[in-house]
A and B are shown apart, each in its own frame.
Chain A
Amino acid sequence: MNIWAKLFYRFRKIIKALKLYFIIAGPGLIVMLADNDAGGITTYAVTGAKYKYELLWFILLLLPVAYFVQEMTVRLGAVTKKGHAESIFYGFGPFWGWFSLIDLILTDWLTLVTEFIGMTAALSIFHIPPFITVLVVAIIMFLMVLQGSYWTWEKIAFLFCAFNLVYIPAAFIVNPTVSQVLSGTFIPSIPGGKFSNEIFFFLMANIGTTIAPWMIFFQQSAVVDKGMLEKDIPWGKVDTFVGSTFTVLIAMFCIVTTGTALFGHAGANEIQSAADAAHYFLSHGNNHLGTLLAIGLFDAGFLGAICISLASSWAFGEVFGWAHSLNLKIKEAPWFYITYMFALLTAGGVVLIPNAPLGIITLFVQVLAVTLLPAALVFLLILLNDKKIMGKYANTLTQNIINFTIVGLIIIVSTLYAVTTIFPHIF
């Protein structure tokens, strides 16, 4: 027997498990990596520049938060075969259904605008004009869905997910002190030893970027579109866990990169976004790092945009009864693709308007998301506790203790985040 055959025989169970994982993997991994969208990357970049590694432990804590919330969508989608928008209509009637749908569409569209802001800012570093960026992004996104196959779309999305990993080499380029990184990750501390309004705002912003309403709607719809069944739930959970681990790791690497290269440097305090950080590196002769950050920011916005626009189209299709699957050709599901492209083109168009109030749009995105997030989470918990709907996949006592704690904390923190965003000097 040759060496490969021996190895295959020895690890056959692991190989089989990995093969199965790659068949089921998708919704969890994609949604989690897309969670590190343009807004997310900006939050991490600024967190690193301001507080170095001191909030890394907090990012690590967000791993179970992301996993437990998103895992519920896998079970709900696989059992009911309904997306989250349809589940809300089905479970709670038209009032809550319309509220969630309209709020989702508004929030998604405004978030899409912020993704385009991130993408155009990233490519303007390479002197690419915004209208070219918007046009090329729209064409790529159109081509991605043109195949009429969920699997093809998913594999292309995986390719873009891989670009999200650029923050890992970026962190190695800046050569951080490993002992300091480990201490920041595993020993909780508050920057400066004192809790301030600014630190509180950053903690809230990091939670806000970890759980967004569109993620709940996207993953549940993707589970349904992929055709996952009840028997696939364990693998769906593994997929979500792997995704959560990656999203947190990438966030940490991003913080380590800017924390090492920017913290304490002159001008670092003026950095307000990931694009500012990339500009800073390029203007200080660190071309590789600046380029990697710009590529990462563009990819983050791109991944966010494909998932967010799909979340809206799926939700519309579920409620209005239109054909709504990536497995259908454009002729078979015209409204699904029209809403998808309409959202993309209009959001991209807003960024091209001279003097558009982009700062105000960003502000209202954060606030509007908070009106939808508590509702979506409460509906998720109620549905997951309904034995009539969920059968043996309903939440257990342990899951309820964990999930109610997480959801309660997210609601409190995100509400405070919205209030401080509206009234910055309230606390």
Chain B
Amino acid sequence: MFKKFYEFFINGIKNIFNNTAKQVNIINEKYRTPHTSSKPVVRIALVVLRVYLMALIVIIVYKFIIVVITGKAE
């Protein structure tokens, strides 16, 4: 009984993951080619945005670790 339930549960999760992965692949394929005109200004803006976001994410992760360790927001 328990084994059947366990298999049903595990298979359910596996199916959800597989279906999501399939859907993500379909979406990635659908939008593979960006449709905005790739002018140099646009390319530079996107590179700057990437660098900016990476810096911000590093700061957030650092803060998150500090909050987890100390348990304080400040």
Contacts and interface: CB of A to CB of B under 8 A. Distances in A.
A374 B49 CA distance: 8
A113 to B, nearest CB: 15
A90 B45 contact: no
B27 A374 contact: no
Contacts of A359: 73
A363 B34 CA distance: 34
Given A91-B35, A94-B32, A382-B36, A371 B27 contact: no
Contacts of B67: 360, 363
A92 B63 CA distance: 30
Nearest to A371: B56
A93 B46 CA distance: 12
A319 B27 CA distance: 7
Contacts of A91: 34-36
A370 interface: yes
B63 to A, nearest CB: 5
Interface in A134-166: none
A359 B74 CA distance: 10
A92 B34 CA distance: 5
Interface string A382-411: 110010110000000000000000000000
Interface stretch (A17-25, A46-54, A415-423): A415-423
Contacts of B32: 93-94
Nearest to A424: B74
Contacts of A8: none
Interface string B55-68: 01101100110010
A94 B53 contact: no
Interface residues of B, number: 26
A97 B52 contact: no
Given A92-B34, A386-B36, A419-B59, A371 B73 contact: no
Contacts of B36: 91-92, 382-383, 386, 389
Contact of B53 (A360, A364, A375): A375
Contact of B60 (A90, A97, A371, A375): A371
Is chain A's binding surface mostly helix, strand, loop or mixed? helix
Contact of B31 (A90, A378, A388, A415): A90
A89 interface: yes
A320 interface: yes
B56 A370 contact: yes
Interface in A310-347: 319-321
A94 B28 contact: yes
A297 to B, nearest CB: 22
A382 to B, nearest CB: 6
Contacts of A424: 74
Interface string B26-47: 0110111111110000100110
Interface in A151-188: none
B18 interface: no
A11 B31 CA distance: 51
B15 interface: no
B23 interface: yes
A388 B27 CA distance: 23
A238 interface: no
30 contacts: A91-B34, A91-B35, A93-B32, A93-B33, A94-B31, A97-B27, A97-B31, A99-B53, A320-B27, A321-B27, A359-B73, A360-B67, A360-B73, A363-B73, A364-B60, A371-B60, A374-B49, A374-B52, A378-B45, A378-B46, A382-B42, A386-B36, A388-B35, A388-B37, A415-B52, A415-B56, A418-B56, A419-B59, A422-B60, A424-B74
Interface of B: 23, 27-28, 30-37, 42, 45-46, 49, 52-53, 56-57, 59-60, 63-64, 67, 73-74
Given A363-B67, A374-B53, A382-B45, 19 more contacts: A89-B31, A91-B34, A91-B35, A91-B36, A96-B46, A97-B27, A320-B27, A360-B67, A363-B73, A368-B60, A371-B56, A371-B60, A375-B53, A382-B42, A389-B35, A415-B56, A418-B56, A418-B59, A422-B60
